[in-house]
Structure 1
Amino acid sequence: MTEMAREAATELDTSPGGGGQPVLDKLVALLDLEKIEENIYRGVSPAHSSVRVFGGQVAGQALVAAGRTVPEERRVHSLHAYFIRGGDPSVPIVYEVDRIRDGRSFTTRRVVAVQHGKAIFSLSASFQKDEPGIDHGETMPDVPDPESLPTFPELTAGYGLRFSEIPRPIDIRYIGEPPWVTRTTGERPTHHRVWMRADGTLADSQLLHVCVLAYASDMTLLDSVLARHGVYWDVDKVLGASLDHALWFHRPFRADEWFLYDSTSPSASGARGLATGRFFTRDGRHVATVVQEGLLRVR
């Protein structure tokens, strides 16, 4: 995510003391959209947002809007989205849902997020009723337990990063040296790995858990592109923005339990970087896969 997006993602609360349940509750409230008409919902941004709406926020809210029009027993299995314009955090976002198809097994929805009369984001999502079938998944990398790793405030202490002291709804534990360190050591890691979890307890709604993961998926993904080149947000002169985002949900999970986010970048060119990521539960189940392309201008 971009430096501005990172601030917007974390500025759900400006009180001192890190994250925890109060900050997570603010994220849940952010995802609880207001229904203003059939198939039309309205969402807001945090009171202390930066210049643009955080991409994970608009993706999560759009997925909530789509899910509100789908029977609860049908789970989202994929979403594909484009970030069209930078969102204005000072005004509400209107989400218009198009009920594309309601089949016997699958349900398809298209959502357009609108501000100032213009589309800023579009999302297509597919939902499926549970069915038995063949089953395999990738193997989780061998990594240290999250409890053995420093917290985000501990890891960022002394580096002067603008976003380091803002309370966060997502607890993140970096595996290995973080990118603001490797940029000075000369390392160029090909994989960027973090443990993540919602920093508190979430309700049992499966839609809420996938929306929180969608929100979190935009927080560190593009870091895997920058780490290959020894640059980082807020330290070097990097201008970035998410261009598109795709997520596939393979198996049920809880976003308030630890999951490993393993990301890498297969290619970067033309001021764009491509990043892919895999999500694993702590017991090794491969629960989701993400792909994103971002605009990255390094000056």
Structure 2
Amino acid sequence: MADRTTLVRPPPVDPTKSQIENVLELTALGQIGPDMFTNTRPLWHPPGARGIYGGAVIAQCLAAAQRTVPANFTIHSMHCYFVLAGDATIPVMYYVEHVREGKSYATRTVQARQGGKAIFTTTMSFVRENSGGQRMVQHAVPLPDDIVPPTDEGLEADDEDGNAPFASRRIAILNKDSTNSHEKRTRQWIKARGKISEAGGHQAHLSALAYMSDSYFIGTVARIHGLWRFGAPTNPPPGAIPTPEMAVRKNYMRKLKESEGLHPDQERSSDQPEIGMMVSLDHSIYFHEPRRFRADEWMFTEMASPWSGDGRGVVQQHMFAADGTLVATCFQEGVVRLKQDTPPKPSSRL
């Protein structure tokens, strides 16, 4: 199994489904045990990242749990922990545990495992729809003023790795010149590519939202502090032959810089702090309006960081449908460590 990216041979891509539905497809393993699943297709490993894209594991855990609750129960919150970096070269096994079956709420835990070790764990709560009663308290953060959805023009060119199942359009940082990092806001428009199938139902849109919620989440801390996060120069040493992996990473980083308004060949200035390590530790999503959005239509996200310190950072994200409906609120904490100055070598003189 060590040299296989999936447990069983992937079937042909289903043309009736969107790209993100195919990416997140699960294979049930009922012959092995109840409520066990595995990834049907290989999972994406972003160039230069320590492991697979975290949003894929978040979304597949949600997709697995959604299969185990009644049709009239909908996810309202999930709390996740990234335990180990996922390996894109071996399958992921998802184990769903039924924690509680209530009249209004149901609880599930899902553990993602590779090589016998947990790489990710999450607890999810589902609520029976329309169980809040006829009289309710209601309020929501509004969509910021003067926000205009983008068009689909040039959508294919906005693909950072050549095969991304979602598109994003970043907006300039709000309050970029503020001396207080917590006042800055990073913003983007995001949507699944293609059209999510009717057969996928609202569950497919929720899984797609979960997948996209991890897009540049902890990276907000780096952006508001102006940290260099594009790695070392991607050109091979003189005389070296570029490998295909090097070419993919170079192209990925060039497009990443362009999305940040930088020249694709720009390199780090000597006085600019550089990220030494940036990985997600935990991820929470509160789903507010599970049937009032489509993940294949543009959604607006705004992120802010209330705190960073001790080698970590926390980011809050609001996700809106284009009509202004607040559909989700997310939080993430991650490791954000800077490369440290190399200490001077001790003098050989006595």
1:36 lines up with 2:55 in the alignment: no
Higher strand share: 1
- Counterpart of 1:35, as a letter, is A
Where does structure 1 lack aligned partners over 5 or more consecutive residues?
Answer: 1-20, 156-162
Return the alpha-carbon distance in structure 2 between the equivalents of residues 149 and 269 of structure 1.
39
Name the counterpart of 2:142.
139
Residue of 148, 167, 170 corresponding to 2:163: 167
| CA gap 1:47/1:295 in 2 versus in 1, 3 angstroms | closer
The answer (yes or no) to whether the contact 2:104–2:127 under 8 Å persists in 1 is: yes
| CA gap 1:202/1:267 in 2 versus in 1, 3 angstroms | same
Q: Bigger shift: 24-33 or 141-150? A: 141-150
TM, length-normalised to structure 2? 0.69
Return the alpha-carbon distance in structure 1 between the equivalents of residues 300 and 223 of structure 2.
18
Structure (1 or 2) with the larger CA radius of gyration: 2
- Counterpart of 2:320, as a letter, is F
Residue of 287, 291, 294 corresponding to 2:331: 291
| CA gap 1:48/1:97 in 2 versus in 1, 3 angstroms | closer
Q: C-alpha displacement at 1:164, in angstroms?
A: 3.4
| CA gap 1:153/1:208 in 2 versus in 1, 3 angstroms | closer
Q: C-alpha displacement at 1:39, in angstroms?
A: 1.0
Return the alpha-carbon distance in structure 2 between the equivalents of residues 120 and 165 of structure 1.
24
1:246 lines up with 2:249 in the alignment: no
| Aligned residue pairs, count | 266
Where does structure 2 lack aligned partners over 5 or more consecutive residues?
Answer: 1-13, 232-273, 340-350
**Percent identity over paired residues:** 32
The answer (yes or no) to whether the contact 1:192–1:223 under 8 Å persists in 2 is: no
Q: Map 1:123-138 to 2 at 5 A.
A: 123-131=122-130, 132=133, 133-138=136-141
Q: C-alpha displacement at 1:48, in angstroms?
A: 6.2
Name the counterpart of 1:76.
75
The answer (yes or no) to whether the contact 2:79–2:283 under 8 Å persists in 1 is: yes
The answer (yes or no) to whether the contact 2:304–2:317 under 8 Å persists in 1 is: yes
Q: C-alpha displacement at 1:220, in angstroms?
A: 1.7
Classify the secondary structure of the residue corresponding to 2:147.
coil
The answer (yes or no) to whether the contact 2:25–2:41 under 8 Å persists in 1 is: no
Return the alpha-carbon distance in structure 1 between the equivalents of residues 72 and 321 of structure 2.
22
Q: C-alpha displacement at 1:66, in angstroms?
A: 0.6
Q: C-alpha displacement at 1:237, in angstroms?
A: 4.0
The answer (yes or no) to whether the contact 1:65–1:95 under 8 Å persists in 2 is: yes
CA RMSD, Structure 1 to Structure 2 (Å): 2.8
Classify the secondary structure of the residue corresponding to 2:320.
strand
| Greater RCO structure (CA 8 Å; 6+ sep) | 1
Name the counterpart of 2:308.
268
